[in-house]
Structures are given as structure tokens and as C-alpha cells.
């Protein structure tokens, strides 16, 4: 992947655990690697076909000095998130923060942290079979759109399906949505649970009725199998109410 590099942007700021650091401030150096496709700009010689390093540097300065953080880890993450949110052409942003005057009490050159945030494609199954089903689905979509770091890039048709799992209950409305997100899998899962809870989701009966159900089906090509989260969704191959809407918005996928 092509990249634009901003190295050691000098910023005087007020980050640190100690009160004196927040009061007196100190020198920081912020570096960023912006991953994007530069071929079109290289052919056209047009600024609109690339990411302006001037605009990116000014954004880094503005975000880095907007608040006082205890940890440079927090400052680095905040800058990386802001870069991805501000420049849709970026595929990833790598941010390094150097703190050469850290109060360590030993001789050293610098201390630093570095983080890389990337854009990911995720597919989310959505369903409801309690109350105003369509209203819950619309509310979930609106809350996802309002979430920093998430954009809804495709929505399937909403279909009515019979219950799955052997529990006697009302029919479901189901669909699948495609997201572009910088959130990592567990952060995305936490946000989905927040939205479910906001719609009155109560987990009492496995595969039972619910006001809203949001499941991570796919996340890039990631395979993970942990206690709280399995990707790809382990039962999606048996669920026509998942496969049919998924095929509608992503017919190119090979599962």
C-alpha cells in the first residue's frame, strides 16, 4: 500500500500523569504514516486525488492539543481515529508519539508509543420479532450511522422469516448490513450490545424472542474463536435469513 509520511511534527502540549506536566507542558513529536492509493494522484498531478499532508498535519496538531491526556497512548489513538474519520481515502493510519522529556529520572533519548488503525469491512445480521419490529431496525441503523468510526455502506432488503432454533415465537424481520469501520472486533461488539440494550433487548431465552438482534457475521477475512466472539458467525451457513440478504448486498463473497 502506498503511503504519505509526516515525520516528527513538533508540538508543545500538556499531556502526562504528573500535575507538573499538565501545568508546564513539554515537547512532543508526532509522526504519521497515511496509507492510501497514490497512483491516481501520481498520474493526474491533482491535489484532489490524494490526501493533503498539509491538512493532515494541521489536523494532527489541532487534535493533539485540544485536550490534556494522562497517557500518550490516548493521544496517539485519538489522532489516528481523527485521521481516519477526516480522510475517507485513507486505508489505515499509523501514529507515533515521541516524548523526549518524559520524567523518568534516567538518561535516555525518547520514549514513544505507536498505534495503527485500519478500515475494515464488517457484515452485521439484524433481526427483530417483538413490538414494532421495523421501528427497532430503523433505530439500530440510525444509531450505527451516528457512531464515530462506523459508516453503513450497504443495506439488504428486510424480509420476514420463521423463527429459528425451535422456540415457539412470532416471525422475525431480518436483514444484513455492510459496515465500513475502524472499530476493532470487540469494540464493534460492545457498540452492537449498546444498541441492542437501547432497544430493550433482554437475554433470557437462548434463540428466544427479542426486540433487536445484531450479530457480527464477517469482519474482513478474520477468523477468531473466543469465548465472547466467534467470527465468522458459526451458524450463519445454516440460516437462510442470513445468507439470502447477505447474497443480495455482497454477491461476490465466497464463504
Closest of 154, 139, 160, 147 to residue 217, by C-alpha: 154
* Set 68, 99, 227, 244: catalytic member: 99
Q: How far is CA 172 from CA 52, 94, 126, 243, in A?
A: 47, 42, 10, 15
Q: How far apart are CA 175 and CA 123, in angstroms?
A: 10
Please indicate whether residue 99 is annotated as part of the active site.
Answer: yes
List the grid coordinates of 11.
508540538
Q: Is the dihedral of CA 128, 130, 135, 140 positive or negative?
A: negative
Q: How deeply is 167 buried, as exposed, middle or buried, from its count of CB atoms within 10 A (0-12, 13-18, 19+)?
A: exposed
Residues with catalytic roles: 99
Amino acid at each position: 500500500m502506498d503511503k504519505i509520511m509526516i515525520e516528527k511534527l513538533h508540538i508543545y502540549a500538556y499531556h502526562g500523569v504528573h500535575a507538573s506536566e499538565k501545568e508546564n507542558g513539554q515537547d512532543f513529536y508526532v509522526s504519521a504514516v497515511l496509507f492510501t492509493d497514490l497512483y491516481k494522484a501520481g498520474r493526474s498531478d491533482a491535489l484532489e486525488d490524494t490526501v493533503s499532508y498539509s491538512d493532515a498535519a494541521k489536523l494532527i496538531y489541532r487534535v493533539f492539543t485540544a485536550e490534556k491526556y494522562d497517557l500518550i497512548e490516548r493521544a496517539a489513538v485519538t489522532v489516528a481515529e481523527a485521521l481516519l474519520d477526516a480522510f475517507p481515502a485513507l486505508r489505515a493510519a499509523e501514529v507515533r508519539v515521541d516524548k523526549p522529556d518524559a520524567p523518568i529520572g534516567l538518561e535516555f533519548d525518547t520514549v514513544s508509543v505507536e498505534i495503527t488503525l485500519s478500515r475494515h469491512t464488517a457484515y452485521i445480521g439484524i433481526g427483530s420479532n417483538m413490538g414494532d419490529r421495523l421501528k427497532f431496525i430503523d433505530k439500530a441503523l440510525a444509531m450505527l450511522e451516528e457512531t464515530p468510526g462506523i459508516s453503513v455502506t450497504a443495506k439488504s432488503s428486510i424480509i420476514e422469516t420463521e423463527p429459528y432454533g425451535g422456540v415457539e415465537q412470532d416471525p422475525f424481520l431480518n436483514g444484513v448490513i455492510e459496515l465500513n469501520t475502524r472499530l476493532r472486533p470487540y469494540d464493534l461488539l460492545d457498540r452492537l450490545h449498546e444498541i441492542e440494550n437501547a432497544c430493550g433487548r433482554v437475554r433470557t431465552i437462548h434463540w428466544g424472542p427479542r426486540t433487536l438482534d445484531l450479530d457480527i457475521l464477517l469482519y474482513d477475512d478474520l477468523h477468531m474463536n473466543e469465548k465472547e466472539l466467534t467470527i465468522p458467525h458459526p451458524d450463519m451457513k445454516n440460516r437462510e435469513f442470513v445468507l439470502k440478504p447477505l447474497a443480495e448486498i455482497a454477491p461476490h463473497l465466497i464463504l
